[in-house]
């Protein structure tokens, strides 16, 4: 059932009525505050996948009607995703497994000798796939990010790629991607934006922002069917080594040679693709677009402001932030609780209150260490970690208030552990 909130109807998510056991054996409604890890499935996404299943068949190969229909749906999904991302008409739209797969695909397609400039604040998916990197320290303010990228790119000889997240998976803070794209282009470099945490929360317009590449995952976009996307300029992708070698990526195969497709999509989508995953992403894109970003953002800001104000009012709870409490962010907040490890907090929230959050370093070890003021211990994991609460469609005031109440109990010593 869709929920009406003063604008167009916001679609419902599956599992809104899920009940989970808490200590003592009681069942309570689940408060899912872990959207940044994986968001629940939107009802229209589930419906679109169910509707496609009866005709489900192979794509790009069969002459049969079901195969043609499924191929048409798969290619339509590509168009939908292109429009959702505001991509240029000639950009490649490649379906992958997830954001990590997308960044790795681009890493393998970079021209020989490309230097990748990347901030220490990145998720590992955007930090690690590159061969030759210049790593930049966490910037103290957004303008410092632009200045540091400018200086680093100025010193690079040859092709360069700037890699940056649009919205942090740790703090939710929005990065100045338009300014960074401008700087990258001034140096003749390109920019890849990790939009995994942006697209579930804000409209993306690759063309208006003048981005070269973007990557995101279906499972964070209410489409948990195992697919992701890499969108961007064709030339590097068409020249790069095929990401997967096999059927579909080749035009012709001889005794000891293969003629690879130059078109980026078939070149990198060898084998049978995740058709249902692609259809699911497209259905999520359609659902978000037709709901309209204004009502989605308004509702998210109402809830995240309530959550952050509540956290600020609890002594012993500290929100993590790179650029201060006023900096714009999406519906993600990480915090620490004095006297408790993040794991203890997360276990108490789950075991006593039926609340799901994430704890740890969120696959962003250098960044979380920086936010927690831990010295950089190389690869050492250290002990410090944080709790992350994240919201989206289907989140409610009750979820937020239950979390705040639980944390108050915890700091007052009246909750486990």
| Catalytic residue IDs | 363
Q: Write a three-state SS string for the chain.
A: CCEECCCCEECCECCCCCEEECCCCCEEECEECECCCCCCCEHHHHHHHHHHHHHCCCCCCCCCHHHHHHHHHHHHHHHHHHHHHCCCCCCEEEEECCHHHHHHHHHHHCCCCCEEEEECCCCHHHHCCCCCEEEECCCCCHHHHHHHHHHHHHCCCCCEEEEEECECCCCCEECCHHHHHHHHHHCCCEEEEECCCCCCCCCCCHHHHCCCEEEEEHHHCCCCCCCEEEEECHHHHHHCCCCCCCCCCEEEECCCCEEECCCHHHHHCCCCCCHHHHHHHHHHHHHHHHHCHHHHHHHHHHHHHHHHHHHHCCCCEEECCCCCCCCCECCEEEEEECCCCHHHHHHHHHHHHCEECEEECCCCHHHHHHHCCCCCCCCCCCCCCEEEEECCCCCCHHHHHHHHHHHHHHHHCCCCC
Record the tokens describing residue 301, joined without a space. 């800001």
Backbone torsions φ then ψ of 137, nearest 5 degrees: -65, 160
Closer of 70 and 100 to ligand PLP (Cβ): 100
Backbone torsions φ then ψ of 223, nearest 5 degrees: -135, 70
Cβ at position 395, least distance to ligand PLP in Å: 17
Closer of 126 and 334 to ligand PLP (Cβ): 126
Q: What residue ranges bind ligand PLP (CB under 6 A)?
A: 98-100, 123, 125-126, 165, 169, 194, 196-197, 217, 219, 363
Rounded Cα distance between 357 and 345, Å, is: 9
Cβ at position 109, least distance to ligand PLP in Å: 17
Residue in the shown chain whose Cβ atom is closest to ligand PLP: 169
Cβ at position 408, least distance to ligand PLP in Å: 29
Closer of 227 and 400 to ligand PLP (Cβ): 227
Nearest to 122 by CA among 347, 348, 315, 363: 363
Closer of 93 and 410 to ligand PLP (Cβ): 93
Cβ at position 327, least distance to ligand PLP in Å: 17
Cβ at position 270, least distance to ligand PLP in Å: 19
Backbone torsions φ then ψ of 300, nearest 5 degrees: -65, -45
Cβ at position 101, least distance to ligand PLP in Å: 7
Closer of 218 and 354 to ligand PLP (Cβ): 218
Closer of 232 and 354 to ligand PLP (Cβ): 232
42 in Cβ contact with 222 (< 8 Å): yes
Closer of 173 and 265 to ligand PLP (Cβ): 173
Cβ at position 97, least distance to ligand PLP in Å: 7
Cβ at position 170, least distance to ligand PLP in Å: 8
Closer of 114 and 126 to ligand PLP (Cβ): 126
Record the tokens describing residue 406, joined without a space. 């639980």
Record the tokens describing residue 229, joined without a space. 């996307």
């Amino acid at each position: 059932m869709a929920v009406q909130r003063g604008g167009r109807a916001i679609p419902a998510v599956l599992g809104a009525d899920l009940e989970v056991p808490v200590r003592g054996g009681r069942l309570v409604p689940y408060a899912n505050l872990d959207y940044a890890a994986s968001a629940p499935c939107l009802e229209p996404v589930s419906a679109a996948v169910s509707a496609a299943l009866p005709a489900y068949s192979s794509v790009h190969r069969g002459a049969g009607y079901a195969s043609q229909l499924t191929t048409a749906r798969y290619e339509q999904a590509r168009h939908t995703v292109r429009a959702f991302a505001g991509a240029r008409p000639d950009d490649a739209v490649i379906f992958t497994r997830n954001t990590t797969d997308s960044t790795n695909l681009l890493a393998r397609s970079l021209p020989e000798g490309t230097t990748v400039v990347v901030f220490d604040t990145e998720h590992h998916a955007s930090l690690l796939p590159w061969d030759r990197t210049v790593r930049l320290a966490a910037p103290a303010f957004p303008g410092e990010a632009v200045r540091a990228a400018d200086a680093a790119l100025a010193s690079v000889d040859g092709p360069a790629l700037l890699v940056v997240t649009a919205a942090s998976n740790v703090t939710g803070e929005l990065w100045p991607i338009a300014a960074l794209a401008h700087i990258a282009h001034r140096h003749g470099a390109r920019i890849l934006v990790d939009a995994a945490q942006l697209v579930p929360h804000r409209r993306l317009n690759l063309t208006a922002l003048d981005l070269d590449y973007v990557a995101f995952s279906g499972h964070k976009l209410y489409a948990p069917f195992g697919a992701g996307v890499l969108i961007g300029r064709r030339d590097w992708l068409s020249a790069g080594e095929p990401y997967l070698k096999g059927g579909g990526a080749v035009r012709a195969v001889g005794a000891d040679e293969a003629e690879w497709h130059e078109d980026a999509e078939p070149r990198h989508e060898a084998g049978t693709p995740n058709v249902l995953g692609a259809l699911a992403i497209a259905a999520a894109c359609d659902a978000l677009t037709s709901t309209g970003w204004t009502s989605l953002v308004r509702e998210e800001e109402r809830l995240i402001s309530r959550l952050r104000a509540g956290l600020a009012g609890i002594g012993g709870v500290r929100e993590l932030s790179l650029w201060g409490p006023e900096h714009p962010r999406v519906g993600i907040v990480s915090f620490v609780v004095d006297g408790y490890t993040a794991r203890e907090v997360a276990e108490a929230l789950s075991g006593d209150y039926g609340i799901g959050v994430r704890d740890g370093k969120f696959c962003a070890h250098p960044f979380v260490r920086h936010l927690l003021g831990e010295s950089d211990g190389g690869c050492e994991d250290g002990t410090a970690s944080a709790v992350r609460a994240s919201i989206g469609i289907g989140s409610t005031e009750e979820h937020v208030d239950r979390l705040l109440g639980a944390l108050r109990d915890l700091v007052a010593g009246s909750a486990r552990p």
